[in-house]
Amino acid sequence: MKIISYNVNGIRAALSKNWLDWLKAANPDVICLQEIKATPDQITDLVLLEQLGYEHYWNPAEKKGYSGTAIFTKIKPKHVEYTSGMDDYDREGRIIRADFDGVSVMSTYFPSGSSGDERQAFKYRFLDDFQEYADKLKLEFPNLVISGDYNICHRPIDIHNPKSNANSSGFLPEEREWMENFIKSGYIDSFRHFNAEPHNYTWWSYRAGARNKNLGWRIDYNMVSEGLQNKLKRAAILPEAKHSDHCPILLELDL
């Protein structure tokens, strides 16, 4: 199973940059999207998406043009879950999950705390609640892939300038500690499972030519429950895809 996760920063904007041509060439079995910022009725190219063989499942935020997640898949899911049972996050469309034979795949968009103290507090609350949610979910679905934009750099290797960003949301000690504990609770950072090299990022600021200079952050992850470790085949970051301030990340499982 070939899984891609991609924060598209607005699916309509991505579509205007030939995103469907890229999707056809990349040809994932499942693609998890974050920050779709749209509802399906606002998309004119759904027929073209379906012609590529994808069923599409959307969990937009209640607020128009904000947040939201989706899963497009060539493999028919046994079940799609649109709610986490946590209203504050469900209203923002932060979690959607598709269950297949042998694996469940979640697309999730963690909150950003960069706009101020109130949203940082919201982010910390989400982290605590998500850990509890994932712990329970893994009991029911032990083969779990949690893909998405976590809005956290785990370690100094995952950010271009760890010293100057020591007090930046996304690289705060509490956030990094949460990520460490989340992984220790039974997950594998699939990219780091295969690649220990620095300068591998998934998000770049639009300011000061950061992407061309590769001054980035690695905040997007395909996390895999430990029960799938022997199924891991490949993981990669795909920085050549430029439809967003993020780039897609790839996971291949041998199921």
- pLDDT tens digits, 160-174: 999 999 999 999 999
Three-state DSSP state, 118: helix
Computed over every residue of the chain, the mean pLDDT equals: 98
- Best CA proximity match to 138, nearest among 37, 223, 49: 223
**Amino acid (1-letter code) at residue 87:** D
For residue 234, what are the β-bridge partners? 252
Phi and psi angles of residue 203, each rounded to the nearest 5 degrees, phi first? -145, 140
Distance CA 97, CA 2 (A): 16
The dihedral formed by the CA atoms of 35, 17, 114 and 32, expressed in degrees to the nearest 10: 30
Contact 182, 131 (CB under 8 A): yes
pLDDT digits (tens, 9 = 90+) for 47-87: 999 999 999 999 999 999 999 999 999 999 999 999 999 99
Percent of the chain residues past pLDDT 90, beyond the cut: 99
Contact 165, 171 (CB under 8 A): yes
Contact 72, 56 (CB under 8 A): yes
Number of neighbours of residue 135 by Cβ within 10 angstroms: 12
Percent of the chain residues past pLDDT 70, beyond the cut: 100
Which domains are present in the chain? 2-253 (3.60.10.10)
Distance CA 250, CA 200 (A): 13
Going by pLDDT thresholds of 50, 70 and 90, the confidence category of residue 143 is very high
pLDDT at residue 37, as a whole number: 98
Contacts for 10-16: CB closer than 8 Å, 24+ residues apart:
10/35, 10/36, 10/37, 10/38, 10/65, 10/244, 11/36, 11/37, 11/38, 11/43, 11/70, 12/37, 12/38, 12/42, 12/43, 13/243, 13/244, 14/243, 14/244, 15/43, 15/45
pLDDT digits (tens, 9 = 90+) for 215-231: 999 999 999 999 999 99
pLDDT at residue 108, as a whole number: 98
Going by pLDDT thresholds of 50, 70 and 90, the confidence category of residue 136 is very high
What average pLDDT does the segment 131-159 reach? Answer: 98
What average pLDDT does the segment 168-192 reach? Answer: 98
pLDDT at residue 51, as a whole number: 98
Active site residues: 149
